[in-house]
Structure 1
């Protein structure tokens, strides 16, 4: 990689720190990016990949919650990162990739009564093992979340292993 003589000179004369990179600073610290990358992988392995717009709005919420001003040029809405930020986030976090989704196969969508009964038996054992049978307030109902077997195909963020 070629470097300008002035860039090297600035580093040698210590006018610029040796390890400092040029350009604007990152909008998130490394620990925050690591946490987001782990969240993306965790949720994708559970079958709920995060879309790029969802990631960008999540980052915006983090920035807004902490009251941080960023060098982002976007004014509407403010603090919302753009495509370049996402591309660079993926470069900095190679374990996360933008992957294509696919529709659920009809074979996988069909479930027999016996399979459902078996699932509930396992679920009852789980509740018993975790002492939740007598604590219905700790058991959440998720039917209102809109789980669908007809998911649109598109791109989501997930572990690089899914990308292969």
Structure 2
């Protein structure tokens, strides 16, 4: 159906071709050795070329037409300065929650090339350049499938707000004598399940365990508000649908004692949170008092 895809080489084939090409060109050490033998008069150019280096390349270096330290092979698409700048931009974007995907990196590289070579024929970037780029910078860059993080959470995931949060949490626990009462400390948070989400791998700094990317927008989803205390006991979840309830007996064969709700956007709002807190959380939480409920700082809460 797509014959052009059948002809596209895979990673193994590309690396095999690169290995064969390097063998034909000869290693830099072999070229330097051959030049030394010719300059010393021990071998002719033809005799030295028989030891694994191209005769024309050796002849160009001996005659001075090409610098003796000139690298063999095709010139790179981008200069070292431009490619390092692209790497820095990849790192910068990842640090602010916008890691680049493979098509974005290819588009940036092509734009740089076109800017530097306005009169040159147009070129195309593909799998070969991508593999070589990753291998050249494997010590700094790697690929990960990103986890989605919203803009508000990205803004507060910094040292200052995090330290202030733990200071306030510790002070509150001590003030109410809850340090030895873990069953009275609860945490609730909502999570969304995307129904049509497709995520590409992105470029992140080498050594990154988790890649986060800010959500580009809303899609059809289901929101679940989960709540546990510090001993691991849970409050049955609050499941929120977007727009309206699905057809059928959606609440008869679900999680026991779960609470269901709906909102226009499919997220929790002030009215739904009040319903959950007064009719559900207080019903299923421990009867001991006081209770500490830890939640995120969303305005609706």
Asked whether the 8 Å contact 1:49–1:158 carries over to 2, the reply is yes
Residues 75-154 of structure 1: pairs in structure 2 closer than 5 A: 78-104=122-148, 152-154=198-200
| Structure 1 partner of 2:201 | 155
Aligned residues: CA RMSD: 3.7
| Structure 2 partner of 1:125 | none
TM-score, scaled to structure 2: 0.33
Asked whether the 8 Å contact 1:40–1:96 carries over to 2, the reply is no
Rounded to whole Å, the distance in 1 between the matches of 2:109 and 2:200 is 21
Rounded to whole Å, the distance in 1 between the matches of 2:123 and 2:135 is 21
**Which structure 1 segments of 5+ residues have no match?**
71-77, 123-148
| Structure 2 partner of 1:35 | 85
Asked whether the 8 Å contact 1:57–1:80 carries over to 2, the reply is no
| Number of positions where the alignment pairs a residue of Structure 1 with one of Structure 2 | 122
Aligned CA distance change for structure 1 residues 14 and 59 (closer, same or farther; 3 Å): same
Report the alpha carbon displacement of residue 18 of structure 1 after superposing the two structures with TM: 2.1
Higher relative contact order (CA 8 A, sep 6+): 1
Report the alpha carbon displacement of residue 37 of structure 1 after superposing the two structures with TM: 0.6
SS at match of 1:31: helix
Report the alpha carbon displacement of residue 9 of structure 1 after superposing the two structures with TM: 5.8
**Which structure 2 segments of 5+ residues have no match?**
1-26, 31-51, 165-192, 211-301
Asked whether the 8 Å contact 2:144–2:202 carries over to 1, the reply is yes
Asked whether the 8 Å contact 2:82–2:112 carries over to 1, the reply is no
Report the alpha carbon displacement of residue 8 of structure 1 after superposing the two structures with TM: 5.0
Larger radius of gyration: 2
1:51 aligned onto 2:104: no
Instruction: Identify, as 1 or 2, the structure richer in strand.
Output: 2
Rounded to whole Å, the distance in 2 between the matches of 1:102 and 1:55 is 16
